[in-house]
Amino acid sequence: MPISEILAGDFTAALKSGDRDKVSILRMVKASIKNREIDKGSPLDDEEIYAILRSFVKRANESIEQFSKAGRTELAEKEKTELSIIQSYLPKQIGEDELRRIINDSSVEVGATGPKDMGRVMKAVMAKTKGLADGKLVSSLVQEILGSKA
């Protein structure tokens, strides 16, 4: 089932059940999807919708970090709720062990010899993971793995 149908069904269910948090978050997501469809001039495919959801996840993570630093725990908790709801619609992220294996395979494929080859390895890994791994985690693992080859 396409993600757009899942989001629409869950939005309707949240409206009927009176789940204000979920309704608010899904309304925001649907509006963002609709705006992107208007800009594009055609309906979005699942990958484009996942990209929108990932941008919400990134924004929520940044907000949680900022609110926590500022001591605004109630706002950080609100963002964590939003984050968990949005993440439930994204494909499961790749685990660290699997990610290390992909990085090692990619570094062999591109002939990486040290940290100077990080860009090439990152490009290969991100192409293989296609949004199934957090870019910051990938970056730190690539640095760690290539740093040990130096």
Domain of residue 72 covers 3-87
Phi, psi of 129 (to 5 degrees): -90, -25
If asked whether residues 74 and 101 sit together in one domain, one would say: no
If asked whether residues 10 and 51 sit together in one domain, one would say: yes
* CATH number assigned to the domain comprising residue 113: 1.10.10.410
Average pLDDT for 87-116: 87
Token pair of 62, please? 């940044």
Structure confidence at residue 40 (pLDDT):
92
Place of tokens 């609110």: 67
Last residue of a domain, one of 87, 112, 134: 87
- For residue 69, CA distances in Å to 56, 64, 134 come to 20, 9, 22
If asked whether residues 7 and 80 sit together in one domain, one would say: yes
CB neighbour list of residue 52: distance below 8 Å, 6 or more residues apart: 29, 32, 33, 36, 44
If asked whether residues 12 and 80 sit together in one domain, one would say: yes
Structure confidence at residue 13 (pLDDT):
96
**Burial class for 53, CB neighbours closer than 10 Å (0-12, 13-18, 19+):** buried
If asked whether residues 60 and 115 sit together in one domain, one would say: no
Average pLDDT for 109-137: 84
38-82 residue pLDDT tens: 999 999 998 899 989 989 998 999 999 999 999 999 999 999 999
Domain count, the chain: 2
Residue 149's pLDDT band (boundaries 50, 70, 90)?
Answer: low
Structure confidence at residue 150 (pLDDT):
54
Q: Is residue 19 a contact partner of residue 84, using CB atoms and an 8 Å limit?
A: no
If asked whether residues 41 and 68 sit together in one domain, one would say: yes
Q: Is residue 11 a contact partner of residue 26, using CB atoms and an 8 Å limit?
A: yes
If asked whether residues 42 and 81 sit together in one domain, one would say: yes
Structure confidence at residue 23 (pLDDT):
94
* CATH number assigned to the domain comprising residue 79: 1.10.1510.10
If asked whether residues 10 and 73 sit together in one domain, one would say: yes
If asked whether residues 111 and 144 sit together in one domain, one would say: yes
- Full-model pTM: 0.74
The residue length of the chain stands at 150
